Amino acid sequence: MSVDGTTPSPPGQEQLQESASRGARATAWGILASSLLAAVKITGGVLGNSYALIADGIESMLDILSSLIVLGSLRISTQPPNERHPYGYGKVEPLSALVVATALLAAAAGITIQSIREIQTPHHMPEAYTLLILVIVVATKELMFRRLFQTGEAISSTAMQTDAWHHRSDALTSIAAFIGITIAISFGKGYEAADDWAALVAAAVIAFNGARLFRSAWRDVLDAAPPPEVVAKVRSTAASVAGVVAIEKCRVRKSGLGMFVDIHVVVDGDMSVRNGHALSHAVKDQLLASVPGIQDVLVHIEPAIGTN
């Protein structure tokens, strides 16, 4: 423990801070774009008699809220450990992903209820210019999805990947709205509700993605193991250290943007305590240097079978 009462930062803390900064920049860019798109869609929907476009605009407003949550989680989850939270604040990141996924499900429910009401209520034909707005929206949202998802994947942020899918869902609702408005305009009187049916289909797509993303975030909250190739990389890296006979157990859990490793290393049973201690540090240092994202490693020494 340091003089000020805080737990020394783990070796991977600087890397986490860099990853968080990268994610924060991409998320801030997404917030700006979503704000502009929400204003354009809601204004266009009101003036152009398109509830599907208004619903799409509301969904974009939720994008802004979810992105703000993700931005906050990136800042909090990478704070260094302290005496009260010795393992850091990594859990904040998947918890924020749960909030974003829940917002998606809530948006789907709200759009479904309003769409059904609109279907039952006669209204004006959507204006043709709303189609141009939707083309711009789909192109912009797809670009946002790709940038945010790639960044989230690169820094291992579940919250960012969930937020990216929020933008992809927005693009899908816009595509559904485009189809609905096209049908309404093409077939004329009697087909005004096609716009609202499109919003209903979009709500189903949003609900599906919300449920899928909720499950992914929930796995991280419950300390689910990372992909098998990550665990295999940890095992092979530890096994490559001179003096290691074998790897008995290896448990890896994700916490925010980083990972914690518990590993049992088999060594010569006649090795002294001092040498065993030095070897455990060598294994830890090798893992921290070779496997991106590892925050800390706990090494347990086991004697090889047939030795003391």
Structural domains of the chain ordered from first start:
13-221 (1.20.1510.10), 228-303 (3.30.70.1350)
Q: Which residues of the chain have pLDDT under 50?
A: 1-7
Count other Cβ atoms within 10 Å, centred on residue 252. Answer: 22
Strands of 215-308, DSSP E: 246-255, 258-267, 294-303
User: How far apart (Å, rounded) are the C-alpha atoms in residues 26 and 28?
Assistant: 6
Q: What's the pLDDT at 3?
A: 41
> Residue 296 has which token pair?
């800390």
**CB neighbour class for 86 (10 Å; exposed up to 12, middle 13-18, buried from 19):** exposed
Tokens of 235: 């095992």
Which residues 6+ apart lie within 8 Å of 6 measured at CB?
80, 81, 82, 83
What's the whole-model pTM score? 0.63
Calpha distance 282→266 (Å, rounded): 14
199 neighbors 52 (Cβ within 8 angstroms): yes
Residue 167 burial (10 A CB sphere; 0-12, 13-18, 19+): buried
Alpha helices in 78-227 (DSSP H): 92-119, 129-154, 158-187, 194-221
Question: What is the C-alpha separation between 18 and 24, in angstroms, rounded?
Answer: 10
Among 261, 252, 293, smallest CA distance to 18 is for: 293
pLDDT tens readout for residues 57-75 = 776 777 777 778 777 777 7
| Helix count and strand count (H, E) for the chain | 8, 3
Tens digit of each residue's pLDDT (9 = 90 or more) over 108-167: 888 788 778 877 776 667 777 888 888 888 888 888 888 888 887 777 777 777 778 777
